[in-house]
Amino acid sequence: MNSKLSGKDKSYPTFIRPATEKIAAQCTAKGQIPHWLEGEVLRNGPGEFEVGSDKFNHLFDGHAFVHKFTISGGWVTYTGRFIESNLYKTNKEHNRILCGGFGTASYTDPCKNIFSRFFTVLTTRPYTDNCNVNVASMANAHYTITDGGDVVRFDAEKLETKNSIALTDILNVHFSTAHPHYDTNGDYYNLGLTFGRNAFYNVVRVPASSFNKQDPMQDLEIHAKIEVDTPLQPTYFHSFALTPNYIVIHDQPARIDVLKSQWKRIMWQPSSGSITNDMKRQSVFLVVDKKTGNQLPIKFTSEGRFCFHFINGFEMTTEDKRYLLVDMCCHKEPINLQQGIVILDNIRQGQTTSKITPTFLRFVMPLDISDSTEEGHNLVNIVGCEATGVMQNDGSIFLTPESLLKKEFSGTLELPRINYKYNGRKYRYFYAMSVFTPHCEDHLMKCDNITKTGITWFEEGCTPSEPVFVERPGATEEDDGIILSTVINKDPNKSVFLLILDAKTFKELARAEVETNLPISFHGIFEEKKQ
């Protein structure tokens, strides 16, 4: 454990500057922290990109590092620690990268002779528990999670690592997403994927009644199964939508080449090349009845698009017609995870701009379909809505979305968040961030899906994180609360700080600065102080 600042190295670009571990460091607060704000924001991301003389190749491969800001009585403290997964401990023990990741190859123990190393390759697999994308909470149990087959339990108080869990030790699921949901009754939901001749997309669940256990993830169960139409090339998914009655899965052109993936795993090679793009393939929305676990028989299709992040989904009834609406951050371009801003050498060389232009779109699925509906008929009839759902000759419904933002406000934003109290409900606002974009400074934006406009926060030389909404106690309006974002500075001599914005005005209320090294993080949560 190194609790001191090791010295800021200007040779590291801001985004991949190695993190420094700290315990309960006092922050310097500026401005007025809301008196009601009591709790902590926990964030996860890659914190270390080199081990000894070895370097990771991919942004998704850095050792998981969790940091938190604790706010209490107007004071703020900072703690940051590496998650000591099996992968992390193996690499640190040998002071080199033996266990790689999504875009970095793995190697057997160099101390073994050639025959032992060959036997190791054939009989074992490198650790894959470097869960560096998000944080999941189940009462007093906390987990680092990623798109993969492992989760790591940790203690949220001191950020100490507890144990790694392979999903296959619990049930027949090889992969789950980094973006779970929580139902109104508290149940934990996620998507899973089972590989094999009989491949399935799974909806998995941990009942809220299990949250009082020490390790509630052990009670993970399969709630619903959908047979994969192409078992050797299932879709890749990173998130989904949860409404009071439905679960929506985006079956998209990004596919996982199972044979290639398994071969690479056997040969200890990185799996990044196993995700392919079939842009001739349409997007298909798979809708599951949450109560029964059965898939709706209606087939909803659209032009093929890639999506990392759903924004929200909700149900609507108008003129006695029922609709299911899903809002997503979509990309029309194929996503290549083997080039561009995710390759660390590009970041090291300062090539950190992206040509990808995501858009925020709303898809509307009509749920009341008559056998007499004629081909070519638009089944979406919502006042002010430009989205359509047109009957096709095979009985499917082709969806054309509407944009949630005017063109001048979109095109550079990702990582959308909402007031989670409105998840699965009709809502108005979402919050997003823009980084790595050409001709555009890094910024946060509050987006209004009714006026289709946005307002921004920006500070020269600063890179914010994904915005996290915290509702004010007693709030009666959707945007009555604050936004929290961890901001890193491109100047290595300036502090990292927790930014606190008024969610209504998007004006700064306060910031809490801390002297530490911290690279960019991916996702996180806020937890209210436990009484």
State yes or no: pLDDT of 48 exceeds 60: yes
Q: How confident is the model at residue 125 (pLDDT cuts 50, 70, 90)?
A: low
Q: Does the pLDDT of residue 270 top 70, yes or no? A: yes
Phi, psi dihedral angles at 398 (to 5 degrees): -95, 125
Pairing mode of beta strands 453-457, 462-463: unpaired
Q: Where are the alpha helices (DSSP H) in 210-281?
A: 258-266
Tens of pLDDT, residues 312-328: 999 999 988 999 999 99
Are the beta carbons of 428 and 450 closer than 8 angstroms? yes
User: What is the distance of C-alpha 464 from the center of its chain?
Assistant: 16
Residue 523, annotated as binding a ligand: yes
Give the residue from 163, 162, 134 showing the smallest Cα distance to 148.
Answer: 134
> 400 CB contacts (<8 Å, ≥6 apart)?
302, 303, 387, 388, 389, 390
| CA distance linking residue 148 with residue 325, whole number of Å | 28
Q: Which residues pair with 242 in a beta bridge?
A: 247
pLDDT (0 to 100) of residue 51: 96
At 343, the pLDDT band (50, 70, 90 cuts) reads confident
Eight-state DSSP code of residue 122: H
Strand partners, 323: 316, 366
pLDDT(406) > 70:
yes
Judge whether residue 49 has pLDDT over 60: yes
Q: Is 50 exceeded by the pLDDT of residue 401?
A: yes
Number of H helices, E strands in the chain: 4, 38
56: tokens are 């990771």
Q: How far apart are CA 432 and CA 358, in angstroms?
A: 12
Per-residue confidence band for 354, with pLDDT thresholds at 50, 70 and 90? low
The reported pLDDT for the residue numbered 236 is 95
- Neighbouring CB atoms inside 10 A of 33's CB total 21
Q: List, edge to edge, every strand of the sheet that includes 402-403.
A: 306-318, 321-331, 359-366, 402-403
> Between the CA of residue 165 and those of 61, 154, 218, 268, 356, what are the distances in Å?
19, 11, 8, 21, 35
What's the pLDDT tens digit per position in 174-224? 999 999 999 999 999 999 999 988 999 999 999 999 999 999 999 999 999
Q: Provide DSSP, 58-77.
A: BGGGSEEEEEEEEEETTEEE
- Report whether 443 belongs to an annotated binding site: no
> Does residue 55 sit in helix, strand or coil?
strand
* CA separation for the pair 190, 205 (Å, rounded): 6
pLDDT of residue 126: 74
| Nearest CA-CA partner of 76 in 132, 26, 114, 117 | 26
309 annotated to a ligand binding site: yes
Report the distance separating Cα 448 and Cα 469, nearest Å.
15
Say if CB 325 and CB 316 are below 8 A apart: yes
Place of tokens 């926990």: 42
Q: How far apart (Å, rounded) are the C-alpha atoms in residues 265 and 258?
A: 10
Query: Which residue type, as a one-letter code, is found at position 449?
Result: N
Annotate 140-151 with b (16+ C-beta within 10 A) or e (fewer): ebbbbbbbbbbb
Nearest to 427, CA basis, from 526, 311, 524: 311
331 is in an annotated binding site: no
Q: Yes or no: say if 87 and 129 are a contact pair by the CB < 8 Å rule.
A: yes
Q: Of how many residues is the chain composed? A: 531
Q: Whole-angstrom Cα distance, residue 92 to residue 90?
A: 6
Please, are residues 251 and 297 in contact by the beta-carbon 8 Å criterion? no
User: Which one, of 276, 271, 239, lies nearest residue 255 by Cα?
Assistant: 276
| 357-366 tens-digit pLDDT | 789 999 999 9
Least confident of 277-286, 430-439, 440-449, 483-492: 430-439
390 SS3 class: strand
Residue 525 and residue 252: Cα distance in Å, rounded? 27
* Tens digit of each residue's pLDDT (9 = 90 or more) over 11-40: 457 788 999 999 999 999 999 999 999 999
pLDDT of residue 260: 86
Reading the block at residue 69, the tokens are 């800001």
pLDDT at position 409 over 70: yes
Instruction: Say which range, 40-54, 102-116, 141-155, 297-311, has the weakest mean pLDDT.
Output: 102-116
